[in-house]
Amino acid sequence: MFFLKILSRMLLRLRGKALRSEIKGVNLDEIERLIGHRFKDPLILVQSLKHRSYTHVYEEGDGSSNERLEFLGDSVLNLVVTDYLYLKFPSEKEGKLSQLKSLLVSKKFLSSKAREVGLGNYILLSEAESASGGRHRTSILSDTLEALIGAIYLDGGFGPAKHFLRKCVLKDVNDLIRDEKFVNYKSMLLEYLQGKQGKQPEYSVMSEEGPEHRKVFTVDVSLGRRRLGRGRGESKKEAQQMAAKEALRKLRIF
């Protein structure tokens, strides 16, 4: 039994060396340094980088993309984020923790962290997908990051996956959760009102000011006849976000 284990490790190491020399266009050693995890089986890392456009073109549909690893990584991500928020904010209520979690597992947030790591440079895409801007696309970046999380978990277990998330995704959370470019106040307000009252808020444009190229919109958000908040912005969408933000503050949700 001991001899078989040694032989298995030797074969795995040899396969890893061969694979590292065969994959063209992707520097596996480089990406491992960036993410802080050395894969025992580099094949798992490669798998996590394969977008479906790549397998469709270069593997003629016979190869599998990173979608299964994305599914696994999503579950690991949710567990680590939930554990992190529960311990970091012991006095926060369930509603606030749920809103913070929604932010930290959102595609917009995950894609921003993928960009920080430089993950887009290593994704395996078809030439057409790459030429159309796939390496910078929010959905592809966030999905690949989740697949990478799944790959680290599969290769090394929960500890290394948690370490990667703490190091590359959950750092500076206090600043990030207050960054308005990531916070979707409208979504937060909708989820809260639907959960508590089973109703949806309504947004109304109250005024438009200024010239056509520099308009300022004022928007109210209401629940029935009750006005919850008012916001102003250079677009209707921005004004709605600000109205929802004010409503959440009045409701003591954010």
Whether residue 151 contacts residue 28, with contact meaning beta carbons closer than 8 Å, is answered with: no
Helix residue ranges, H only, the chain: 2-22, 28-35, 42-48, 52-58, 67-88, 94-104, 107-117, 127-131, 138-156, 158-168, 173-176, 185-197, 236-250
Crossing angle between the packed helical segments 67-88 and 138-156, to the nearest 10 degrees: 80
**Which residue among the candidates 70, 129, 146, 155 is catalytic per the annotation?**
146
Burial 15-31 (b: 16+ CB within 10 A, else e): ebeebbeebeeeebeeb
Is 234 one of the catalytic residues? no
At 55, list the tokens.
């397998």
The SS3 of residue 122 is: coil
Is 62 one of the catalytic residues? no
**Which residue among the candidates 70, 74, 143, 220 is catalytic per the annotation?**
74
CA distance 90 to 93: 8
State the greatest distance between any 2 C-alpha atoms of the chain, in Å, as a whole number: 80
Q: Which residues are catalytic?
A: 74, 146
